[in-house]
Amino acid sequence: MVEAMLESLGLEKERFRLVWCSSAEAERFAASVREMTETVKALGPSPYNTHADVELPAAEAEVAACR
């Protein structure tokens, strides 16, 4: 259902991921975040990002890459 919704919005299904982690699985959570960050960086800016050509400070660029 989520994949169909993303497709109808013109977004890649890879921009969404659901990972179940307990509070005892800190390394699994961190690894999931790293993997998702790499995936989104590889996909490039969201088609909804109208400011993709604006230079951002490094921390803001990391957050923007996740959108």
pLDDT tens digits along 8-62: 998 999 999 999 999 999 999 999 999 999 999 999 888 888 776 666 566 565 6
This model's pTM is above 0.85 = no
The confidence score (pLDDT) of residue 1 equals 86
Residue 67: the pLDDT is: 60
- CA 3 to each of CA 15, 18, 27, 53: distance values in angstroms, whole numbers, following the listed order: 10, 12, 27, 28
